[in-house]
Amino acid sequence: MIRQDILNPDLKIECDIVFSVGLIEHFSVENTRKAILAHFNVLKSGGILILGFPTPTFLYKITRKISELLGLWMFPDERPLKIDEVLDTVNQHGELLETKIIWPILLTQAMLVIKKRTAAGR
């Protein structure tokens, strides 16, 4: 197991695939950007990033509000992210291959599949 601070990583690895769910939404706007970039930093050129995060659909908002009112909400630092906010950073380093919203999870999750650009593709 490797443990790192996503905002100050010190990894000397390159991965074909990076799968990340439930992380980038726990930061400020600037630190969300830094966390996304950290994913690209360990991804090989042409590698795939699968990135999941809550997105503020009506279903998310109503489910969260009910959870908060019932005192069941356990993620005070969670900031649901609009897909465009994430794409502002992603598009600088990769090509979006697929976007899906997972609706059966009441706290709707966006899932993006991104291919890191090759050095020649920049």
Q: Give the phi and the psi of residue 59 in degrees, each rounded to 5.
A: -60, -45
Q: DSSP letters along 5-49, please?
A: -TTS------EEEEEEES-GGGS-HHHHHHHHHHHHHTEEEEEEE
Query: 42 with 74: CB under 8 angstroms?
Result: no
Domain extent for 53:
15-121
Which CATH number belongs to the domain containing residue 81 in this structure? 3.40.50.150
Number of domains observed in the structure of the chain: 1
- Tens-level pLDDT at each residue, the chain (122 residues): 778 899 998 888 899 999 999 999 999 999 999 999 999 999 999 999 999 999 999 999 999 999 999 999 999 999 999 999 999 999 999 999 999 999 999 999 999 999 999 876 44
- Residue 104 is assigned to a structural domain of this protein: yes
Cα–Cα distance, 107 to 50 (Å, whole number): 18
- Residue 7 is assigned to a structural domain of this protein: no
- State the pTM of this model: 0.91
